[in-house]
Structure 1
Amino acid sequence: MSIFTYSTYEDIPTLDDVKREITSIVGLREIKVQLEKIVEKIIAAEHDASDSFRVVPPKLFHMVFIGNTGTGKSTVARILGKLFYLSGALPSHDVIETGLRGKMKTGEGGILLVDIDEQDLDSKKLDEVISIMDEEETSVIFAGNRTSLNQTMKLNKELYKRFSASLQFDDFTCEEFAMIIQNKMNDQGEDSLLRGFELDASCTTDNIAKAIAEESFEELRSQLNAYLVDQMLLEAKACLEKRVGGKSETKISLRDLAMGIRNATQIYKKLLCL
């Protein structure tokens, strides 16, 4: 429950829920440390409030997320939205994702996550974003790789002054890829195309990491990161189904997975002209 309640939501986040989300993040060690520090501050504020001390909500601030595609920037933004709401810094935990080319919307008291692309830079759109930042009702996060963010900051000298913090999102290692694959298979939603399938015992973290290192290449992993995972698993499922020839088999072997990784790599290699 938030210390400061501004409005009512059908699904109000709890601190315990957010703590579990932080724990489930793969990689991003330094970022997880920063998120855990925010949690500790919220807990301390709740204790002060329960002891009848006057608690002042933290001041709203804006951030920059530096990293390639698929490194968890949207996931962390959603977690921050909940933490800012629980701390009383924001009246909403909603996160609106947009780009500079599309219609600019306010975060309506939540977070506005702006995806920065080198091809979409528009100084007029930046003026719109600055006006939103100055309203002090929405937290704005700029997310993109270092090159695109640097070019964006050069378009408007007033922009960088409004950001109070930046977080670096590193590319995933092969071991972290393996952990993401295992998590994806262990936590399938009702609409998952992999529902009912599982990895067999040969698919250990080490074995999956080795397969990723051998069957994919670093440039592609760096460009797409976690966005590669779904295609890898769907291709692995297809390899399983081809191998068993219509028989009822739900366990994906390490060989199926390795072939799926190889096939997904070839698909994206052609799409991205690598």
Structure 2
Amino acid sequence: MREAFTYTQNSQINVVFNQKKEKSAALPFPIDEKVSHAPLEKMEKALNRLVGMSEVKKMVKELYAWLYVYRKREEAQLKVGKQSFHMLFKGNPGTGKTTVARLLSDLFREMEILPKGQLIEAERADLVGEYIGQTAQKTRDLVKKALGGVLFIDEAYSLSRGGEKDFGKEAVDTLVKQMEDHNTEFILVLAGYSDEMDDFLQMNPGLPSRFPMIFSFPDFSGDELLQISGQMMEEREYRMTTEARKRLSRHLHQKVIDHDAHFSNGRYVRNLIEKTIRRQAVRLVREGAFDRDSLLTIRTCDLALDDERFPLNADEAFSTI
């Protein structure tokens, strides 16, 4: 798949996908070896460590191309206009939204779009106050803290769930005003579930036109979740036995099929790996086996799976070797 940005009159960006066979890691444009693209090379290195998200990765690369040409047009004293880089991230929890926001904040700093490039993470409680007058001030203070960088608000749709008397609407109205007053001084990224974010945009008539870029983060497949778990194990210097890997694979594929409402993709895998490592530690202490191979190895009985018919407690795990 290859994608390109097209522009509408209100500067919104639409992603047009053209069918074409090519490697997913291929750049969407040729690189002149005489030109330094260090920010892109750094971004590519970070993106290549991420599992899946092929379309998100392509959009990030094309965003780099857009920013690069934007700077070149400035240098050539061509008309560029004031561009808005505010974004919407749509997807379920644990699909990589915060990770990508952090990478983009670094990119905007290195491309000199933002002077600082810090990422300020926030949620409803950071914007909404308990009393009249608190919300607007809290929101303004948060934006002030984010000036020069990226303000990332997760589960942004929660600002619209309190009804007419809730202060969430005041927070949204204040954000819209701050986006207008400080349009080029910070980048706002609103993230949340796809359907809920679509409803959220209807909360204020000024919202949709202020977000020219929309990134969609699909759920990970069972194979991708298994790959993520393998990366996490490797980073922590652990390895699974063949049977443990097969058991984990079956478990993760089943989680994807079940599509549990509380299933949080990558976050679930991270929590599973951390619990598994603790279970392995308990087993090793009970066994008294601390040679290198034992310290490295994760067995099937170590896996902290929530679909076990008879979940093992610590003492039971010691006896099932």
Equivalent residues of 1:58, 1:88 under 8 A apart = no
Unaligned runs of 5+ in 1: 1-12, 189-196, 268-274
1:162 equivalent in structure 2: 210
Q: Secondary structure at the match of 1:250?
A: helix
Give the superposition deviation at 1:266: 10
Q: RMSD across aligned C-alpha pairs, in angstroms?
A: 3.4
Instruction: Tell me, in whole angstroms, the C-alpha distance in 1 between the residues paired with 2:310 and 2:153.
Output: 31
Instruction: Tell me, in whole angstroms, the C-alpha distance in 1 between the residues paired with 2:213 and 2:70.
Output: 22
Distance 1:40 1:199, change over 3 A: same
Alignment of 1:217-232 (within 5 A): 218-220=258-260, 223-232=263-272
Instruction: Tell me, in whole angstroms, the C-alpha distance in 1 between the residues paired with 2:66 and 2:245.
Output: 34
1:76 equivalent in structure 2: 100
Aligned mate of 1:66, from 65, 72, 90: 90
Instruction: Tell me, in whole angstroms, the C-alpha distance in 2 between the residues paired with 1:186 and 1:175.
Output: 16
Instruction: Tell me, in whole angstroms, the C-alpha distance in 2 between the residues paired with 1:187 and 1:59.
Output: 39
Aligned mate of 1:23, from 48, 55, 58: 48
Instruction: Tell me, in whole angstroms, the C-alpha distance in 2 between the residues paired with 1:84 and 1:37.
Output: 13
2:148 equivalent in structure 1: 109
| TM-score (structure 1 length as normaliser) | 0.74
Distance 1:117 1:126, change over 3 A: closer
Aligned mate of 1:251, from 265, 273, 296: 296
Aligned length: 243
| Greater Cα radius of gyration, structure 1 or 2 | 2
Say yes or no: does 1:260 pair with 2:304.
yes
Aligned mate of 2:61, from 20, 23, 36: 36
2:164 equivalent in structure 1: none
Say yes or no: does 1:233 pair with 2:279.
no
| TM-score (structure 2 length as normaliser) | 0.65
Worse overlay, 248-257 or 32-41: 248-257
Equivalent residues of 2:123, 2:155 under 8 A apart = yes
Unaligned runs of 5+ in 2: 1-37, 127-137, 161-167, 312-321
Say yes or no: does 1:148 pair with 2:176.
no
Equivalent residues of 1:27, 1:172 under 8 A apart = yes
1:8 equivalent in structure 2: none
Q: Identity, % of aligned pairs?
A: 21
Aligned mate of 2:174, from 107, 110, 128: 128
Amino acid at match of 1:233: I
